[in-house]
Amino acid sequence: MDLNSCAGGWSTLLENYDGLAKFCYDNQIADSTLKKYQTVYNYYSNFCFWNDLTVGEELSCVRFMSFVLAAGKGWILDSFKAAVTFFSLKDCFQFRWTDLMKGVKKGAKKIYNRIDKKSRLRDPFLLNAIHTWIDNMYTVTNWDYYTYYYCCLYAVIIVTGLRCLCRPKELVELSFDQIVLNIPEPSCVTIKSQFYKNDQFGKDTDGIPIEPIPNSPYCPVKIISAYRNLVLFKQPSDPFFSNLGSNEYLSTDFISSVIKIVNNTNAVVSGHSLRIGGASQLVKSGEPLEMVGFAGSWSSDAKNRYVRRTQLVTRKTSSKILTNNFCDKNQ
């Protein structure tokens, strides 16, 4: 159960204090974390069932960790202890993390990282790629409607993702009424995105204001408005982004394919490349990491992996290091 299902009130939960306690316990962590724990725990409990082992005991944990390593599913190891601990407290069974279990997990992770783990490579989206795409959109005059629609759709997905540093899931879940014109100022657009990864309870009611770029073909307000004019027939709850003739929400795979088509390079891009590209552009323009974190609603240090290498370039690290070394050498 999640908090979004509580609109009808608390009366049913209050009839059973044990149920309310479990409900509170579930909601101490983010929905995405709870789903991950549930997945890992399901793997573990099913393994114990089919192998006649007891959930929570040292033998079952050690054998399970060995099993997931042999199966090439070493990613389970990172969340295994936390997941079993969570459900042991919730379902009231004995679980103690022993030195043997700690050692097996540590060794299994080392082996997995060396043999099976595949690095998640994500290059940033290249800014000149969307410039080229938009230039073509404005210069070609003999578009048929189908081609023009998808040209606009691809452009607005890329521009919105870059400007708002969106995750792919946040893009595909946008509804028509979440794109608000002339807020907070005339000629602006506000993206009323809620319930994203770091807004589990929908407290972000302000949205992301997007200001226009005067006299620029790459103005995000102009591009968003151009696509919006093509879909004015949509109802408030309909998806903002959709295929032509369809009223279904797009998939995150569709977002990834759009990025690959528009980027048009051999770079390793994915749905998150817009988020990385937007963060990289902010760093190049001189924005501090704190502002980048705020712009992308980062609650962790994950952004640092994307932007600190860019900072080394923009701060002319080579010149600073080599010049100082050469100065020292000549002294």
Q: Does residue 56 sit in helix, strand or coil?
A: coil
Neighbours of 308 (CB within 10 A): 12
> Could you read off the pLDDT of 254-302 as tens digits, one per residue?
998 998 888 877 777 777 788 877 877 877 777 777 777 666 666 656 5
The mean predicted confidence, pLDDT, of the chain is 79
Listed range (212-216, 265-269, 304-308) with the worst mean pLDDT? 304-308
Query: Who wins on pLDDT, 34 or 8?
Result: 34
The residue count of the chain comes to 331
Listed range (67-71, 208-212, 302-306) with the worst mean pLDDT? 302-306
| Whole-number pLDDT of residue 7 | 44
Query: Who wins on pLDDT, 234 or 265?
Result: 234
Label residue 200 by pLDDT band (50, 70, 90).
Answer: low
Listed range (16-20, 108-112, 265-269, 317-321) with the worst mean pLDDT? 317-321
Kindly tell me the burial class for residue 5, based on how many C-beta atoms sit within 10 Å of its own C-beta (0-12, 13-18, 19 or more): exposed
Residue 244 has pLDDT above 80, yes or no: yes
Query: Who wins on pLDDT, 322 or 92?
Result: 92
Label residue 142 by pLDDT band (50, 70, 90).
Answer: confident
In this prediction the pTM is 0.63
DSSP string, 98-152: -HHHHHHHHHHHHHHHHHT------PPPPHHHHHHHHHHHHH-----HHHHHHHH
